[in-house]
Structure 1
Amino acid sequence: MNLLDTPITTIENLIPQKSPFVMVDALLGFSDTQIVSSFKISESNIFFKNHTLSESGIIENMAQTVALHTGYDYYLKGQPAPTGYIGSIKEVHILSLPALDEIINTEAHILQEFMGVTLVEITVFNSKKEKIATSTMKTVIAK
């Protein structure tokens, strides 16, 4: 995987989500089959509850990391980012919830991609590089 020399922090055109529903801040690494994103937990986040990012926020961060991979791939090809959605979640394991001002890094590994359906394994790490969540997810590009 290629970690970028400088993280890409202007991602508004790379994902279909808009504020206040954006759950990724930066693109840190990219290859045909992998991506690494980061996200700083803020009090204004709609999924911030009880001093942490909720489980729903973590799942949305995972899905948006996949969307960021697709959007950046389209950007490199000179095309606008497509809209997509979560097709299915096979497994989600949330080990801990990130706290206020913590920066999480999310890694997605594309296992299979066919006709707009992407199967990925996703792992989220806290600022101490400890695994805090994993999932296997399918995302689908809307036609």
Structure 2
Amino acid sequence: MKLPIHTLEEIKKLIPQKEPFIMVSSLLSCSSEEGITALKIEPNNILVEENKFSEAGLLEYMAQSIALQSGFLAKQLTNGKPQIGYIVSIKSAEINKLPRVNSTITSTIKNLHEIAGIRDSVVTIKNEKEEIIARAEIKTYLVDHEG
């Protein structure tokens, strides 16, 4: 699998989420330290409210961006199945602006550290104007996918 990844079929191989609850469209770059994802906000997205992507949508996009990075690394480094991540905590979440339908947002995931399967990451979301619209520190617990 090579970067960038833009197809839903390839995304579905890397994350445990299923349609219609997939909140990532692309994996643009990925390393164990940092990943960059994108999401085109479609009008039929179940987390769109009044033509804007909701706060819950932004937080879910952050979590799925972490999952996509983890899934890609698992595939590349170990040729294994994607790990399942459980959110342990969301700290310092800031949502400055809700993006509109048909816009594309990008997230940058910076992994701060990982100890005993718990990964601490900072996720920053920008809009098409490169404005920071949301940011949070998210701890996830990664477990091997069974089945």
- Give the TM-score, by structure 1 length: 0.93
1:127 is aligned to 128
1:8 is aligned to 5
Secondary structure of 2:140 counterpart = strand
Q: 1:127 to 1:140 in 2, by over 3 A?
A: same
Per-residue CA deviations over 1:32-51 (Å, capped at 9, x if unaligned) read 21000000001111100011
Q: 1:6 to 1:113 in 2, by over 3 A?
A: closer
Per-residue CA deviations over 1:4-47 (Å, capped at 9, x if unaligned) read x8521221111111111111011001112100000000111110
1:34 is aligned to 34
Unaligned runs of 5+ in 1: none
Determine which structure has the larger strand proportion and give its number.
Answer: 1
User: Which residue type is aligned with residue 100 of structure 2?
Assistant: A
2:87 is aligned to 86
What is the alpha-carbon distance in structure 1 between the residues aligned to residue 19 and residue 84 of structure 2?
A: 15
CA RMSD, Structure 1 to Structure 2 (Å): 1.2
| Runs of 4+ displaced beyond 2 Å | none
Secondary structure of 2:56 counterpart = helix
Return the offset for 1:83: 1.3
Per-residue CA deviations over 1:43-74 (Å, capped at 9, x if unaligned) read 11110001100000000000011111110010
What is the alpha-carbon distance in structure 2 between the residues aligned to residue 32 and residue 6 of structure 1?
A: 14
Q: Count residues in correspondence.
A: 139
What is the alpha-carbon distance in structure 2 between the residues aligned to residue 32 and residue 99 of structure 1?
A: 31
* Percentage of matched positions with identical amino acids: 36
What is the alpha-carbon distance in structure 2 between the residues aligned to residue 89 and residue 18 of structure 1?
A: 23
Residue 45 (1) aligns with residue 42 (2): no
What is the alpha-carbon distance in structure 1 between the residues aligned to residue 86 and residue 40 of structure 2?
A: 23
What is the alpha-carbon distance in structure 2 between the residues aligned to residue 68 and residue 114 of structure 1?
A: 19
**Paired residues for 1:41-120 under 5 Å:** 41-76=41-76, 77-120=78-121
User: Which residue type is aligned with residue 137 of structure 2?
Assistant: T
